[in-house]
């Protein structure tokens, strides 16, 4: 009796999904945070940054829990390394969100009116890419149920293709805004230019990480 | 020598000894059966309770009936192996002369005791020890002392066969379950229309399960009930029964109302992703318009207006958000397999009765055979009445074990093994049941639990289960290595104690 019960290890798929949900929570707060920063609403800024930090630390807890329950003797339907890589990318997403949030509130930087709309666009594109990656992670238990194949796999692969497309759009948006920033460089404070360029880069990186996390799912489905 | 001779003439044992030996034997045989019912039956039924295919009460009733039938119908083969195939009765008689019969009775009783005590100890230390292995180890231990100096006559070939069957049975069930689950994936889970595919495939699976159960039962299984069928007759009858049941299942499956997927499945041209994409394209278009001038700007605006119309028509027909289709279908498929899983769980219960109960009461059968015939016959044959009586005692013991303690274990297992969804549960149970039944048929005392573990691992290797703890495999191997000497040692100890008391 004991033998059969102890045969079943702690499945990492559900925790991986709840980890990704925390990441999603972080990412969705970036848009309102940017609005609050641009609008100078310090109270909302503080509230959102606190929430993002709390989410990030919850995600960290889940991450540590997954790692400590993933001994080598655990037999998984997918490669253990692929799973850990997905987790690493998700973790990096949470970290980057937190970093972006904190950096956004570090200094009162003024943003040129021409850059406001593009920044909102960029944040939206990046958040969409993150959400799409989260959707893919949410498909993992369905994939497990169908045994990582068939039409469910095809569907998830389509979703991953979609992330790629989203990431490309985020790329383009980042390039547009950076170009605009440097067009305006003579009218702006040098520190502001560097600061915003750094912010754009970080946002762009977040989209990259989401894309990488989603694309690792391809490896789970590769035969 | 003379005194012993006279004793043998009048009966080997005094009336008091007879009753002590018989009642002790019955008691420990019953205890073994009880503990099997209390602990092991959950293996077969836990998954069905877990997937809510059966209620706890139904599971206990079904398990009780099938365990009993398995023990009663297929049990005698395994029971005979324990009783007479490990220790050669003829040589025992030759070497020990008149003393042989009484020593054999003490030995079998000691084996029964040793197995019971070792099981309790192992449970205390949390080792996944099997009843079967304990009994085999104990009988070997008794053989070693009673045939001191004549070890060459112990049937080491049989012992070797039994031990290798312990390795082979999990391997076989693993391979079978792997194949079954892979087939289910290929023909059901990977299909475009899972539910219809499941309905198509199910009758064949029902046929396969029934064919195996009935064939094993009929094919010499009923010999002790004086139902002699030739091989061809058995095969024909088994196939006939299975075809009828499979046809019945088609009817029943047609009646299974599978909830239609929530909402209308969106055609490929009208799905949520499309709507989202359109709105993004619209956004990009707006951005392009901001930097465009003149004609280009005007054209872009026209395109934008056209897109608005397209967007509206897509959104109207668009059903659930991304990610929520496919799930109801999966659930419907699992529901169909939940019915199949009841059948496979029954097969496991039946097989379990055939193998484990028979093991547990095997030594008891030996004790009674000698007590009743007053001699150590070549075959230690039991009269049909006693054989059925002993197996019935085992069956009843199991049912009482189930009723007193087993339901709790079934409940626990059912709650914890949620990973064994019906498709997985069916695959694992099918592989295990076939393996156990075939082994029982050839008289191999194997471990049901270990065979089931092998089967679950097989499903895992087909990428069916979230996470499997491979350390269990190590524990099982350790338990093999430890159980044989431990059972043997305890049996030797009890043998000398019983001999001292009775002699």
Q: Are A3 and B185 a contacting pair at CB < 8 A?
A: no
A80 touches B at CB < 8 Å: no
pLDDT band at B259 (very low <50, low <70, confident <90, very high): low
Q: Which two tokens stand for residue A19?
A: 């980890």
pTM of the model: 0.83
Biggest CA–CA distance in chain A, Å, is: 76
Question: How many CB atoms are located within 10 Å of the residue B254 CB?
Answer: 9
Q: Say if the Cβ atoms of A8 and B39 lie within 8 Å.
A: no
Confidence check: pLDDT of B33 > 60:
yes
Residue A3 is nearest to which of B463, B468, B476, comparing CB atoms?
Answer: B476
Structural element, H or E, at residue B123: helix B99-125
For residue A128, the model assigns a pLDDT of: 94
**Average pLDDT of every residue of chain A:** 93
Q: How many C-beta neighbours within 10 Å does residue A217 have? A: 24
Residue with tokens 């925790």: A15
User: Model ipTM?
Assistant: 0.86
CB of A82 less than 8 A from some CB of B: no
Touching check for A178 and chain B: CB below 8 Å?
Answer: no
Give bridge partners of residue B469 from the DSSP assignment.
A74
At B383-417, the pLDDT tens digits run 778 888 888 888 888 888 888 888 888 888 777 77
Q: pLDDT, tens digit, for every residue of A7-54? A: 888 889 999 999 999 999 999 999 999 999 999 899 999 999 999 999
Nearest CA in chain B to A3: B128
The CB density around residue B19, as the number of other CB atoms within 10 Å, is 12
Phi, psi of B468 (to 5 degrees): -120, 140
Nearest CA in chain A to B187: A150
Q: Which residues of B touch A7 (CB under 8 A)?
A: 453, 456-457, 468-469, 472
Question: Angle at CA B59, nearest 5°, toward B55 and B63?
Answer: 175
Contact check, Cβ <8 Å, A146/B330: yes
A88 vs B481, which has greater pLDDT?
A: A88
B466, A74: Cβ pair inside 8 Å? Answer: no
- Whether the pLDDT of residue B107 is over 50: the answer is yes
pLDDT on residue B380: 65
Helix, strand, coil fractions of chain B, as percent rounded to 5: 80, 0, 20
Q: Which residues of B touch A138 (CB under 8 A)?
A: 323
Q: Enter the tokens of residue A216.
A: 């690792």
Q: How far apart are CA B169 and CA B435, in angstroms?
A: 6
Say which residue the tokens 């987790």 belong to.
A87
CA separation, residue B391 to residues A52, B96, B236, B381 (Å):
66, 29, 28, 14
Kind plus residue range of the DSSP H or E element containing A74? strand A74-75
């Amino acid at each position: 009796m004991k033998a059969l019960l102890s045969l079943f290890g702690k499945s990492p798929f559900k925790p991986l999904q709840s980890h990704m949900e925390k990441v999603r929570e972080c990412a969705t707060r970036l848009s309102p945070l940017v609005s609050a920063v641009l609008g100078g609403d310090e109270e909302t800024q503080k509230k959102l940054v606190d929430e993002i930090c709390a989410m990030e630390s919850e995600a960290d807890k889940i991450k540590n829990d997954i790692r400590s329950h993933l001994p080598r003797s655990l037999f998984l339907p997918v490669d253990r390394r692929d799973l850990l890589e997905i987790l690493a990318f998700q973790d990096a997403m949470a970290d980057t969100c937190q970093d972006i949030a904190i950096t956004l509130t570090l200094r009162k930087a003024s943003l040129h009116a021409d850059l406001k709309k593009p920044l909102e666009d960029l944040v939206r594109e990046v958040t969409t890419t993150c959400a799409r990656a989260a959707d893919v992670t949410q498909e993992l238990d369905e994939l497990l149920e169908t045994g990582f194949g068939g039409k469910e796999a095809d569907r998830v692969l389509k979703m991953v293709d979609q992330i790629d497309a989203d990431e490309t759009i985020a790329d383009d948006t980042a390039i547009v805004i950076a170009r605009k920033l440097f067009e305006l460089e003579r009218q702006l404070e040098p520190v502001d230019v560097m600061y915003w360029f750094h912010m754009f880069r970080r946002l762009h990186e977040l989209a990259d990480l989401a894309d990488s996390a989603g694309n690792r799912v391809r490896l789970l489905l590769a035969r | 020598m003379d005194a012993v001779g006279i004793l043998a003439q009048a009966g080997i044992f005094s009336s008091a000894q007879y009753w002590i030996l018989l009642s002790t034997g019955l008691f420990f045989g019953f205890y073994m059966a009880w503990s099997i019912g209390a602990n092991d039956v959950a293996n077969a039924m836990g998954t069905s309770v877990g997937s809510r295919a059966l209620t706890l009460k139904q599971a206990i009733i079904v398990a009780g009936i099938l365990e009993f039938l398995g023990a009663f119908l297929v049990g005698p083969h395994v029971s005979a192996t324990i009783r007479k195939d490990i220790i050669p009765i003829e040589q025992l008689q030759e070497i020990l002369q008149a003393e042989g019969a009484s020593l054999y009775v003490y030995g079998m009783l000691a084996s029964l005791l040793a197995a019971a005590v070792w099981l309790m100890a192992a449970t205390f230390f949390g080792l996944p020890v099997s009843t079967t292995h304990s009994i085999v180890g104990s009988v070997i231990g008794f053989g070693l002392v009673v045939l001191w100096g004549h070890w060459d006559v112990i049937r080491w070939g049989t012992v070797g066969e039994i031990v290798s069957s312990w390795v082979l049975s999990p391997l076989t069930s693993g391979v079978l379950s792997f194949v079954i689950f892979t087939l289910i994936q290929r023909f059901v889970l990977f299909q475009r229309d899972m539910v219809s595919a499941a309905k198509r495939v199910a009758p064949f699976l029902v046929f396969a399960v029934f064919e195996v159960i009935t064939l094993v039962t009929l094919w010499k299984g009923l010999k002790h009930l004086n139902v002699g069928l030739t091989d061809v007759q058995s095969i024909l009858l088994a196939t006939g029964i299975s075809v009828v049941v499979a046809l019945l299942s088609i009817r029943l499956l047609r009646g299974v109302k599978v909830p239609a997927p929530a909402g209308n499945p969106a055609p490929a041209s009208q799905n949520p992703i499309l709507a989202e994409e359109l709105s993004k394209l619209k956004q990009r278009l707006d951005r392009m318009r901001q930097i465009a001038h003149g004609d280009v700007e005007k054209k872009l605006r026209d395109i934008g207006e056209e897109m608005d119309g397209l967007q509206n028509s897509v959104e109207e027909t668009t059903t659930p958000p991304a990610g929520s289709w496919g799930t109801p279908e999966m659930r419907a498929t699992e529901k169909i397999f939940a019915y199949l899983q009841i059948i496979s769980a029954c097969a496991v219960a039946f097989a379990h009765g055939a193998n484990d109960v028979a093991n547990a009461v095997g030594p008891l059968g030996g004790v009674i055979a000698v007590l009743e015939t007053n001699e150590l016959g070549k075959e230690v044959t039991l009269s049909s009445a006693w054989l059925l009586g002993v197996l019935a005692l085992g069956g009843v013991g199991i049912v009482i074990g189930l009723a007193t303690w087993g339901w709790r274990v079934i409940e626990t297992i059912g709650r914890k093994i949620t990973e064994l969804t019906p498709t997985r549960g069916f695959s694992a149970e099918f592989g295990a049941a076939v393996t156990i039944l075939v082994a029982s048929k050839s008289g191999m005392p194997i471990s049901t639990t270990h065979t089931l573990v092998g089967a679950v691992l097989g499903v895992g290797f087909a990428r069916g289960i979230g996470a499997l703890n491979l350390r269990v495999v190590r524990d099982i191997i350790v338990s093999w290595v430890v159980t044989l000497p431990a059972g043997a040692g305890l049996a030797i100890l009890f043998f000398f104690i019983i001999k001292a008391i009775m002699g």
